[in-house]
Chain A
Amino acid sequence: MSRLALLSALFALSGSLFACASRPSPEAADWIARATRTHEASDQALLRGDRSAARRVLAELVNQAPPSQVANDDRRVVLQDACFRLAELELDAQAPRAALGWIEHGLALGRPADVFVANLLVARAQAHERLGDDATATADYHEALVINGALLEQALRAEGNP
């Protein structure tokens, strides 16, 4: 009897864990929808020539904590992409130090070898270049190109060009 109860409890536990792992999340879906709207609003503001509005909406997205239901890697890519856009806006506004602030914020979220990290490294190299720090800029360009090369190999394989 006790064995049966124990096995039933274990199966119930496994089932609930599976249900939790694969359950959709309205909070996370809302946050992704909000990120999508933010980029659209930023694009519209840039089309109007309103850079400060573009910067403001992107900064709001970055500064507000995402819901806990969003997986870490998903949170990282969305926020790193927004940080990259903010850094580019700051560089356009001749504010490389402000750009570095957004870049470091983004890189602090994680540094796997993907397109978002490579973008931030390119932007950081550009910021250091503007600040006259060519050595650091060169190192960042190099790191970005190493990631870029690895991604290019994957892309070529994916597109059927080994």
Chain B
Amino acid sequence: MSDGPDREATAEEVAEAAALAEALERGPSAGAALAPPTDALEAAALLRLGRDGGALPADRQRAVLADLLPVVARRRARRWRWLALPTAAALAAAAALFFSLQLHSRPQPVTRRLVPSVALLHAQAEATRPGGGAEPLERQMQTYRERMLAALAERYRGRP
């Protein structure tokens, strides 16, 4: 009685049938709750092969494509990730090196290196007074000018 064709299917048989239906519809799935019976799968595969030579129907092709595209995109993104991080780090290091070199290799303004003497500044202040002569200032400037031009000449001739 219990083994007759009219008996109710067990829960396991129902699950197997569902897995088989799924496999027939979409092929074996790793995510299925229960693997379909192997012999039934082989029979189903033979049936499908006899029906359409194993070709996937158009809607199935679209479904498979839809499943695969995100996987391919993720793999492609992973492939570039290994290159992006070191490249960004190398670019950042190069930028830091560039700005550091710019800062340290830029020549200091000559007026910062050659502080005018107190005598020169005194003569300059005197020139602002009513009747203050320009000659003392010009005399002091002559000395400062010689120092300045000598410093610039050294810089552009490449002496330390």
Contact = CB atoms under 8 A, between A and B. Distances in A.
| Interface SS of chain B | helix
A114 B134 CA distance: 18
Interface in A78-134: 78, 81, 84-85, 88, 91, 112, 114-116, 118-119, 122-123, 125-126
A17 B142 CA distance: 37
A17 B125 CA distance: 43
A24 interface: yes
A151 interface: yes
Interface in A129-155: 141, 144-145, 148, 151-152, 154-155
A6 B98 CA distance: 16
B115 A158 contact: yes
A23 B116 contact: no
A127 B124 CA distance: 16
B70 interface: no
Interface residues of A, number: 58
Nearest to A82: B145
B120 A115 contact: yes
| Contact count band on B | 35 or more
Contacts of A25: 156
A60 interface: no
B115 A32 contact: no
Contacts of B105: 18, 21-22
A36 interface: yes
A112 B112 CA distance: 11
B75 to A, nearest CB: 19
A73 interface: yes
Contacts of A71: 107
A154 B86 CA distance: 48
A151 B116 contact: yes
Interface string A4-17: 00110011011001
